[in-house]
Amino acid sequence: MKIYMFPNLDKANCYEYTRDAARILTENGAEVYLSEKYRLIFSGLDYITFADEHSFIPECDMIIAVGGDGTILKCSKKAAVHNKPILGINCGRLGFMASLEHSQLSLLEKLVRGEYLLSKRMMLDVRVFSGGTEQCYTALNDVTVAKSDDCKIADFSVSKNDKLISSLRADGVILSTATGATAYSMSAGGPIIEPDMECIEFTQICAHSLFARTMILSADSNVSVRCSTAENCHVWVNVDGNNVMKLSGGDKVCVSRSQYYINIIDIAGGSFFASINKKLMQPLKGTEEDNL
């Protein structure tokens, strides 16, 4: 079994987590590979092989992302395009997509033996039309169209299959997958959705309305968002936490189900619900922050 690891060394303890995970995997018969750019950082560890990611990812059996959910998001397109399952080892605070904490690294033995579940997750195609150009992106979590700091407020129209479903004045709108339901959408008042469901969640951000409610749209929906702002005001298109384009009034963002899916590896079993109970519910019961 060949495993390619993506560590996010900006995270505290990521070096130690990566080192320990690589050692356990090789002790159980796996081959562990990292990018050439980490050769000096992980020098002296003879159980790690270094290889160019672009040439090796198509040849590996799976990908391990060591960091937080953001690290998984950065790896998601690579994993989806090459149809490689991905396992997350959490170095962050929440980590809803990460299956393992550092204290659970011994479970990597089960990974090598093939004793794990796969959670198939829908992704989104994002097409942005601005100034006569079209830019395309892929999202695992969400797409946000929101006013920039130079705008006090903006008007948005949201359509499904060319039929208007909402016209609103707000700070922005979020279109998310079920995987992204526990991210920005939840903070904006959206519901939690079981992550392997296929749907598009439409959530309004600080809408100037008494009736701002999240809508759950079918996975086959083609959703478009148009914005209208005051002169010299702009909105940002944000894909999986990254601002990708600045739009002017009249530009359009189209979102639909992607041809790509990503398979999230779950070794512990029921990791999503365990994360919900541990990381969202317990703080309401007085759990100390340090235990999150």
Distances (CA, A) of 261 to 73, 212, 226: 13, 30, 27
Residue 96 has pLDDT above 90, yes or no: no
Candidate from 71-85, 222-236, 265-279 with smallest mean pLDDT: 265-279
Q: What is the pLDDT of residue 202?
A: 98
Rg (CA), the chain: 20
By the 8 A CB rule, do 93 and 223 touch? no
* Residue type for position 59: E
CA distance 152 to 146: 11
**Residue found by looking up tokens 């951000």 in the block:** 205
The DSSP element (H or E) to which 273 belongs, if any, is: helix 271-276
DSSP 13: T
Using pLDDT thresholds of 50, 70 and 90, give the confidence band for residue 228. Answer: confident
Region 110-119: mean pLDDT is 94
CA distance 50 to 4: 9
Digit-coded pLDDT (tens) for 130-158: 988 999 999 999 999 999 887 887 899 99
Q: Where are the alpha helices (DSSP H) in 192-268?
A: none
Question: Which two three-digit tokens encode residue 266?
Answer: 């779950």
Domains of the chain: 2-116+267-291 (3.40.50.10330), 123-260 (2.60.200.30)
Q: What is the pLDDT of residue 275?
A: 73
Residue 292 has pLDDT above 60, yes or no: no
Q: What is the pLDDT of residue 290?
A: 42
Region 207-231: mean pLDDT is 90
Catalytic residue among 52, 61, 69, 240: 69
Active site residue 69: yes
Residue 242 has pLDDT above 70, yes or no: yes
Q: Which residue in 257, 92, 84 sits closest to 178, CA to CA?
A: 257
